[in-house]
Amino acid sequence: MINNEQLAGLNKAIADDDTLTLERLVTEIQPADLAEFVRHQTTKAALKLLTYLPLEERADVFGYLKGVTQCELAEKMTETGLSQLFVYMNSDERADLFNELSEEKRQNILRLLAKEEREDIRRLASYEEGTTGSIMSSDYVTVITKTNIAQALEVVRHTAPNAETIYQIYILNAEQQLTGALSLRQLILAKPEAMVDQVMTTELVSINVAEPQEEASRLISRYDLLALPVVDDNRRLIGIVTYDDAMDVAEAEATEDMHKGASIGPSDEGFGQATIRNLYSRRVNWLVLLVFANILSGAGIAFYEEMIETYVVLVFFLPLLVASGGNAGSQASTLMIRGLATGDIDIKDWGKLLARELMVASCLGLTMALAIMGIGFWRGGIEIAQVVTYSMFIIVIIGSLIGLTLPFLLVKVGWDPATASGPLVTSIADIIGVLIYFSIATAILTF
């Protein structure tokens, strides 16, 4: 982290246009920390600050910036300066940035790059957003079969400066198909005259380029990989996904699920950079829909107006009961959605999970019913205590089963189960809770 002294020094140097101090300070600060500082500067100040870094370090800092900030800076940079930056950026990062630039800017940049770099950018930028191909890197080390360890080490020495990782060396046959891999440890410890195909590991975890990027992240997490090889339909190696890219995907997926769970629409902007219009548009649709959904709760209450007029005390317990059902449903939904996301559970587990949730919900409902029974008796006597106790027990069970079931139903119809959590489960549980409560009240108090 940038300490207070460095922060004050940077701000003062920028204000005073103190070139010498800026050059000294930017080389003392970690790229990730400098990127965080740059993010809060004006575009003009940020560009000025970046010019004091050598190109390789500038590319590192640039890579840590959010996509929106990168685009703002890139559109203001000269095409020569941006093309020089592209040379030093990681292949996957520059492909992402390339896709965000205007068409005119893209063509001008490509004309200034070497043929190999142009082809690499075009290839990586061509993959559909959300696929493994869209996050993979072409900066990796390969050797062909029938190569000995000494020759492989020489290849690593020449390739390493431009590789994103050298901890895994991939072994290809003459058709560029992935046949095995060597760890750096294996390479160093093996005898120089040994052949790589005698030492390599052939049991590899790999992924097809068209698979969802979330699957790449899951595989890296499951098998504790530093990098995951990406292959095409003919098993030719075309890229790798590194663990840091997988972490970015996991973070983005978790953020998306949290937003869906709160009925908030997707956005490429972070909360800190979002405009008022963006925040409004992301939140208004679900809120309006849920307003109309909750009208059903009001309709249910209106249907039992005479009952409420006769037993006004019932109103006291209404918010408590429907909230308990919604809370129980949200808990069950959260556990279910997370289990589906991590692969801990599957659709085929539905029957077992339903039986288990019924037992858990019954215990929860009984506990909460006993907790509220005394208050019911105190407020309205034995009959009101019965109504409140039975209602709490049933509402908690029904709310929990709604929270368990809704994610499964959404998966079945091809929707993201994260949509089922939060306000949606709560609204459904509220409607059903009102009907259950007043139905039980009618049954007990009118007979």
In a domain, 412, yes or no: yes
In a domain, 134, yes or no: no
The residue type of 77 is: M
In a domain, 375, yes or no: yes
**Which backbone phi and psi does 199 adopt, to 5 degrees?**
-105, -25
In angstroms, the CA 412 to CA 416 distance is 10
291 and 391 part of one domain: yes
DSSP 147: -
From first to last of its 447 residues, the chain has per-residue pLDDT tens of 777 777 787 888 777 777 787 778 877 888 888 888 888 888 888 888 888 888 888 888 888 888 888 888 888 888 888 888 888 888 888 888 888 888 888 888 888 888 888 888 888 888 998 899 999 998 899 999 889 999 999 988 888 777 778 889 999 998 899 999 998 889 889 999 999 988 999 888 999 999 999 899 889 988 888 899 999 999 999 999 998 888 888 777 766 666 565 555 555 555 566 667 776 776 677 667 767 777 777 777 888 888 888 888 888 888 888 889 888 888 888 888 777 777 777 777 778 888 898 999 999 999 999 999 998 888 888 998 999 999 999 999 999 999 888 888 887 777 777 665 667 788 888 888 889 988 999 888 876
374 and 400 part of one domain: yes
CATH number of the domain where residue 299 is located? 1.10.357.20
In a domain, 173, yes or no: yes
Q: Taking the CB of residue 442, how many other CB atoms lie within 10 A of it? A: 14
394 and 434 part of one domain: yes
Report which of 369, 390, 375 is spatially closest to residue 442, judged by C-alpha positions.
390
CATH number of the domain where residue 108 is located? 1.25.60.10
240 and 304 part of one domain: no
Among 67, 91, 126, identify where a domain stops: 126
In angstroms, the CA 276 to CA 120 distance is 38
Total structural domains within the chain:
3
166 and 295 part of one domain: no
- Name residues whose C-beta falls within 8 Å of residue 34's C-beta, 6 or more positions apart in sequence: 2, 26, 49, 61, 64
Among 126, 158, 185, identify where a domain stops: 126
Report which of 82, 79, 81, 88 is spatially closest to residue 108, judged by C-alpha positions.
79
Q: Is 207 helix (H, G, I), strand (E, B) or coil?
A: strand
Q: Which domain holds residue 432?
A: 276-445
208 and 110 part of one domain: no
Per-residue b or e along 338-358, where b marks 16 or more CB atoms closer than 10 Å to that residue's CB: bbbbeeebeeeeeeebeeebe
In a domain, 252, yes or no: no
| pTM of the model as a whole | 0.67
In a domain, 424, yes or no: yes
Q: Which two tokens stand for residue 199?
A: 């030492």
- Name residues whose C-beta falls within 8 Å of residue 229's C-beta, 6 or more positions apart in sequence: 168, 170, 178, 181, 204, 206, 207, 237, 239, 240
CATH number of the domain where residue 223 is located? 3.10.580.10
302 and 413 part of one domain: yes
In angstroms, the CA 75 to CA 98 distance is 11
In a domain, 197, yes or no: yes
120 and 41 part of one domain: yes
- Name residues whose C-beta falls within 8 Å of residue 291's C-beta, 6 or more positions apart in sequence: none
β-pairing, 227-231 vs 207-208, is parallel
**The pLDDT of residue 239:** 92
320 and 171 part of one domain: no
Among 222, 245, 268, identify where a domain stops: 245
122 and 156 part of one domain: no
In a domain, 262, yes or no: no
Q: Which two tokens stand for residue 15?
A: 């204000």
β-pairing, 178-183 vs 168-172, is antiparallel
Q: Taking the CB of residue 108, how many other CB atoms lie within 10 A of it? A: 16
Asked if 368 and 392 touch (Cβ cutoff 8 Å), the reply is yes
159 and 211 part of one domain: yes
63 and 210 part of one domain: no
Q: Is 326 helix (H, G, I), strand (E, B) or coil?
A: helix
